[in-house]
Amino acid sequence: MIVSKAQDLIVAIYAATLSPDNFYAIIDRLDALLFADQNDDAGEDDTIEHRIGGATLAHAEMAYSIQQRIGLARTNDQKVNAIIESVPNPSYVVTKGETLVAANGMALAKYGAMPVRLDELVPDPGARRQVRDFLQRKDPGLPLAVTGHPDPERSISGSIVISSIDPDLVGGALGLYLLSVVDFGFDDGEARLLRDAHGLTAAEARVALMLAGGLRASEIAAERGVSLDTVRTQIKVIKGKTGVRDIPELVRQLCGFSAGVLAPKSVAVDNPAAPRKSAPVKTRRRLRLADGRTLDLLEQGAADGRPVLLFHNIPYGIELPAAAIAQAYRDNLRIIAPFRPGMGDTDPVHGIGVDDLLTQAAQDCRELLDQLGIRRAVVLSHAAGSPFALRFARLFPGSVSRMIGISRPPAWRQEWLLDTPKRQRFMLRLARHVPRLLPVVAWAMMACLDSRFASEFVIHLCKDGAADAKAVGHQETVDLIAKGSVNALRNGLDCLRHECLIAQMDFTAEARATAHKFHILHGDDDHIVPLAQTLAFARDVPGTTVEVVEAAGQLLFFSHWQRVLSAIVAGAPR
């Protein structure tokens, strides 16, 4: 490589360690410097690294070291912010000394500038006394729910829910608490979900919400225009149906619908304020595998429903939209989504190649099902998760009732790289040709996704097709991609190269030899993985079926989740 081009490359490498505000220009520059003359059909995977030279690549390793140090310097602040931003209510982080240290966007938007002290946030003396007593407990235990918090936008008061934040989640920091303001302003869909979960009538659900909002029985009677005896009878029925003993316990249970309260970290992590098994779950858990490694997983839908084993995309795609989780509950589906080795909090497996990684991930999933007492499940692959789903089905055919793929077959032809959009193609080329630079670029991407540029970045990645551009018009979809990616790679990027290489491997022969065949849902407006690729795979693997989804793109998993759940229901074991 000539000196001037090498210097340009070194400058671009170090630029990627800085603020992501000019990220696109940096990546475009790297792409031009590395791959302008690249022939991807040549099959010479080490040609580019050899041309660049060891001295220049040493700068890539130094840049990644700088990135890691920058990341460590701000880890605790990021973790605190991640906690409060994940809560779907106005929320604050407060210290044992009653000082507020952080607020999420919802709190700032609704209540204005963050108060400095607890007494500014909680003006009612009785409520403030209960919160103070909770802060001083040696072992706080279950979250505290305090009714009667004034809401400037609603006639009915809300509630305060406070729980301790486990030190392991915030770098060992002690004495931090999550305080959420829950107004129980349920929309029609959430109110219906509450009724369905506990078998409440519409009137009983409304009374339950008014009780949780701090109203007394006499006030509820006046508000609803019914007798006090009628309300008292309804309260008795509500307690019986929800299984609670008193009003504070009812508030805690409703907070399982309306507030995300973090539990202490353990081998099995569940939300202590979450509703009982009669309500939808979104539960993060960690299991110990036989070899001593930890397996991190997310369960969504019905806690005791028909099992679905989800193989996620790279690196996001483990979490469903909220409406899909509610529908999965109604469809009696238990969607079990484990993180693969090295992602999330699943421990990596060091020193193995890509084929061994596929096998190890399949074995981890079979052990997971064994621990959960599950014999067979629908296997669902999301995009780049398809090779992992296929390997599981080949090794454990008796554990599979049906195979469903979303947006991508487990197949690859090198000429397809030219049909891949620029940003995605750049990452695939890096993994194959310049793997020592991949962590630097991936770290910079994660920094974008973990910053104020997250929405802009996701929208830019999905701008090639009209369907995906429309899908990322919904903030929930953007958040599931951005936050899901950061969460999956928060403990390191070493797994990413193997994942990108597997995405460029062809498993057609393995698919032919596997008893179970894919039913693949693919959008007709997918510009990242064109529909033609799935149709070619279906021609090559007899028994494969394809369901074309109109006006859907690569983000079909999020934008057309109803079609996904319908396909699962058709194949779920009963």
Nearest to 528, CA basis, from 553, 503, 546, 491: 553
pLDDT value of position 26: 75
Tens of pLDDT, residue by residue over 213-239, are 667 788 788 878 899 999 989 988 988
- At residue 455 the predicted structure's pLDDT band, cuts being 50, 70 and 90, is confident
The answer to whether residue 201 scores a pLDDT higher than 80 is yes
pLDDT value of position 70: 52
The answer to whether residue 289 scores a pLDDT higher than 50 is yes
pLDDT value of position 84: 72
pLDDT value of position 39: 62
Q: How far is CA 488 from CA 242, 327, 411, 456, in A?
A: 35, 25, 24, 20
Tokens of 470: 């429309």
- At residue 259 the predicted structure's pLDDT band, cuts being 50, 70 and 90, is very low
| Percentage above 90 pLDDT, the chain | 39
C-beta separation of 341 from 492 below 8 A: no
Measured CA to CA, the distance from residue 373 to residue 380 in angstroms comes to 19
pLDDT value of position 274: 37
Mean pLDDT over 313-329 rounds to 93
What is the torsion angle, in degrees rounded to the nearest 10, for the CA atoms of residue 302, residue 145, residue 163 and residue 322?
A: 30
Mean pLDDT over 294-308 rounds to 93
The answer to whether residue 74 scores a pLDDT higher than 80 is no
The answer to whether residue 120 scores a pLDDT higher than 70 is yes
The answer to whether residue 270 scores a pLDDT higher than 60 is no
Measured CA to CA, the distance from residue 455 to residue 460 in angstroms comes to 8
Higher pLDDT, 90 or 253: 90
Measured CA to CA, the distance from residue 57 to residue 59 in angstroms comes to 5
Terminal-residue alpha carbon distance, the chain: 62
pLDDT value of position 413: 96
The answer to whether residue 40 scores a pLDDT higher than 60 is no
Angle at 233 between CA 232 and CA 235, to 5 degrees: 65
Domains of the chain: 89-263 (1.10.10.10), 281-413+506-571 (3.40.50.1820)
Mean pLDDT over 174-193 rounds to 69
Tens of pLDDT, residue by residue over 11-36, are 667 666 655 556 677 778 888 888 87
Tens of pLDDT, residue by residue over 274-286, are 333 446 788 888 8
Higher pLDDT, 299 or 4: 299
Tens of pLDDT, residue by residue over 473-516, are 998 999 999 989 988 987 778 889 999 999 999 999 999 999 99
| Percentage above 70 pLDDT, the chain | 76
The answer to whether residue 471 scores a pLDDT higher than 80 is yes
**3-state class of 187 per DSSP?**
coil
pLDDT value of position 22: 65
What is the total residue count of the chain? 574
C-beta separation of 88 from 259 below 8 A: yes
The answer to whether residue 550 scores a pLDDT higher than 60 is yes
How much is the mean pLDDT over the chain?
81
Q: What is the pTM of this model?
A: 0.68
Measured CA to CA, the distance from residue 287 to residue 371 in angstroms comes to 9
Find how far residue 226's CA is from the centre of its chain.
44
